[in-house]
Homo-oligomer: A and B are copies of this chain.
């Protein structure tokens, strides 16, 4: 980990990479303390600010945490599911917003992944998961709900569906897919009519999961995907029309 050849990249980037490699490869284990900034500066033969920039890079990826005071320092951080969720969502959201990903492609990916969970969800759902889904369905039927709140409730519903698979790795992977869609979903104006239809489909999904009927749940998800697509296309068409006028 000591070496640091004179590449073209920034020193702080090289140092960050060297430490990152040591962590990822397992040379440094969770909660192990890194040398102090001064010692690292000596080892890599750079100044302390340079070392600090490297450490901040690692902190941004939740690879290390720092603690002030005597016997403080930088420690290898145990990446929690929550932190991983967060990074996953940030990355996915940016990827979608910056790459002009079409609604269709994003939608297809999201529902395909979600359907991957349904067999497990139907098998393992607890009363808790079902209760969350029912509660969100109920909320979605409330007429005074804003479009934003409706979308947020939608996300909660689908996350409950995913969490019902009782596989944290799956939940982590899906978090990005579901949450990253929210900005795109927020562009849709949900009429009373369309909300009714969505609530109907959500109810079918919840029923199917409660009955441990994976096939029915998948079918309902397919229909929900198709319906979401038609809604999005209507919005796009209306927008196009407005622009032409």
Contacts and interface: CB of A to CB of B under 8 A. Distances in A.
Contact of A176 (B16, B99, B173): B173
A84 B79 contact: no
Contact of A98 (B79, B87, B90, B172): B79
Secondary structure dominating the interface of A: helix
A96 interface: yes
Contacts of A93: 24
A58 B61 contact: no
A81 B92 CA distance: 10
Interface string A76-107: 00111100100110111111111101000110
Contacts of A177: 169, 173
Interface stretch (A113-121, A135-143, A153-161): A113-121
Interface string A24-63: 1010001000000000000000000100111011111101
Contacts of A57: 56-57, 59-60
Nearest to A49: B49
Contacts of A109: 167, 169-170, 173
Contact of A169 (B16, B60, B98, B106): B106
Contact of A101 (B49, B96, B168): B168
Contacts of A196: none
Interface residues of A, number: 58
A113 B170 contact: yes
Contact of A112 (B12, B54, B97, B117): B117
20 contacts: A20-B90, A23-B94, A24-B94, A26-B97, A57-B59, A58-B60, A60-B60, A61-B91, A78-B99, A79-B99, A80-B99, A81-B99, A88-B91, A95-B169, A101-B168, A109-B169, A112-B120, A112-B165, A113-B170, A173-B173
Given A56-B60, A84-B95, 12 more contacts: A61-B87, A80-B99, A84-B92, A88-B91, A109-B169, A112-B116, A112-B120, A112-B167, A169-B177, A173-B173, A173-B176, A173-B177
